[in-house]
């Protein structure tokens, strides 16, 4: 059993992981049943930043389940559900304060277009998830409903993918060591100025790697690095709900994760990769982003 060290409140990280798997799978099945059906679609930060009635309903479902099962924990959802029954005081101790950081549908544009590459991400984090650099995941799960899979991990417990029959298989990144042979996933923010700068970054990076893949879900891209479907992934302007669970799945699988010019993922972005290409990729991305004008200017909010 993986537990934190606090003598009074021994949080069982395995219990958090099991709960994350159960809820990610339930919410994943909930949204999959509704894809292709009639649902309302609205926009958020830009005309291309979509949210559906199903995103909101999935977040309500996850909030209800977690309020019942973990009533003292905080909640931070992409679609605006924020709860903090413990009254804040976020610290780095899993026994003091857990916040559930949730993306009820990651890859909403794919979901609306009927593309199967979307996910539900459920992560238990310590610290303050409203401030990049001030939090870290300790357990989490990413459901890929179209494949019946749930990727999951907890600190110190390794990373796994569970199939529709509940059978767990361990995850490992590729043994890539050459940047020129690196298959690199990426994504783009919604704001026009950020997208232009991100495209300028790619002009510098693309000639240095094998090829680029743009899947449309940060959570699935991170899990792809963890299981070797990608050698690496980076994206500028991500949000905590996009990456919280996938970040842990990568590191527990033996992959490497950092931010852009920071040791932890930040509003500037996230870089995740097989360990053999990490240093070369980080150097390449940081050189490219300096050439294109530095940071994506991301406040931690919808991009």
Binding site for ligand LIP (CB under 6 A): 78, 103, 106-109, 187-188, 216-218, 235, 242
Per DSSP (E only), the strands in the chain are 41-43, 50-52, 74-77, 82-83, 99-106, 119-127, 135-144, 149-154, 159-162, 168-170, 183-186, 211-213, 232-235, 256-259, 270-273
Residue with tokens 């020129």: 180
Residue number with the shortest CB distance to ligand LIP? Answer: 187
Nearer to ligand LIP, 135 or 233 (CB): 233
Are the C-beta atoms of residues 141 and 106 closer than 8 Å to each other?
no
Nearer to ligand LIP, 219 or 253 (CB): 219
- Least Å distance between CB 288 and ligand LIP? 17
Q: What is d(CA 129, CA 52) in angstroms, rounded to the nearest whole number?
A: 24
Nearer to ligand LIP, 13 or 32 (CB): 32
Enumerate the β-bridge partners of residue 152.
Answer: 141, 160
- Least Å distance between CB 272 and ligand LIP? 12
- Least Å distance between CB 28 and ligand LIP? 14
Residue 91, H or E segment: none
Nearer to ligand LIP, 106 or 231 (CB): 106
- Least Å distance between CB 127 and ligand LIP? 21
- Least Å distance between CB 54 and ligand LIP? 12
Nearer to ligand LIP, 109 or 202 (CB): 109
Q: What is d(CA 219, CA 115) in angstroms, rounded to the nearest whole number?
A: 15
Q: What is the DSSP string of 120-153?
A: EEEEEEEE-TTSTTSEEEEEEEEEEGGGTEEEEE
Query: What are the residue ranges of helices labelled H in 134-277?
Result: 192-205, 218-227, 240-253
- Least Å distance between CB 22 and ligand LIP? 21
- Least Å distance between CB 46 and ligand LIP? 10
Nearer to ligand LIP, 97 or 232 (CB): 232
The tokens for 264 are 């932890």
Using DSSP's 3-state secondary structure scheme, residue 279 falls into helix
Nearer to ligand LIP, 109 or 134 (CB): 109
């Amino acid at each position: 059993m993986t537990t934190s060290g606090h003598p009074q409140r021994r949080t069982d990280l395995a219990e958090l992981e099991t709960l994350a798997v159960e809820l990610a799978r339930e919410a994943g099945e909930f949204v999959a049943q509704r894809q292709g059906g009639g649902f309302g679609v609205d926009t958020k930060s830009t005309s291309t930043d979509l949210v559906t009635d199903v995103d909101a309903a999935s977040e309500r479902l996850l909030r209800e389940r977690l309020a019942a099962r973990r009533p003292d924990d905080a909640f931070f959802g992409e679609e605006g559900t924020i709860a903090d029954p413990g009254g804040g005081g976020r610290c780095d101790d899993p026994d003091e304060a857990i916040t559930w950081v949730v993306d009820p549908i990651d890859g909403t544009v794919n979901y609306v277009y009927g593309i199967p590459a979307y996910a539900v991400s459920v992560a238990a984090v310590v610290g303050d998830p409203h401030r990049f650099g001030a939090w870290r995941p300790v357990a989490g799960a990413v459901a890929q409903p179209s494949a019946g899979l749930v990727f999951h991990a907890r600190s110190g417990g390794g990373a796994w993918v569970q199939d529709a029959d509940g059978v767990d298989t361990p995850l490992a990144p590729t043994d890539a060591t050459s940047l020129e042979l690196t298959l690199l996933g990426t994504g783009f923010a919604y704001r026009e100025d950020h997208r232009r700068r991100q495209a300028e970054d790619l002009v510098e990076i693309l000639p240095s790697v094998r090829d680029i893949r743009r899947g449309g879900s940060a959570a699935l891209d991170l899990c792809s690095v963890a299981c070797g479907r990608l050698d690496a992934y980076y994206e500028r302007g991500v949000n905590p709900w996009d990456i919280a669970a996938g970040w842990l799945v990568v590191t527990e699988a033996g992959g490497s994760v950092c931010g852009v010019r920071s040791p932890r993922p930040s509003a500037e972005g996230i870089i995740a990769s097989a360990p053999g290409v990490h240093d070369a990729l980080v150097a390449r991305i940081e050189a490219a982003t300096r050439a294109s004008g530095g940071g994506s200017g991301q406040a931690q909010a919808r991009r």
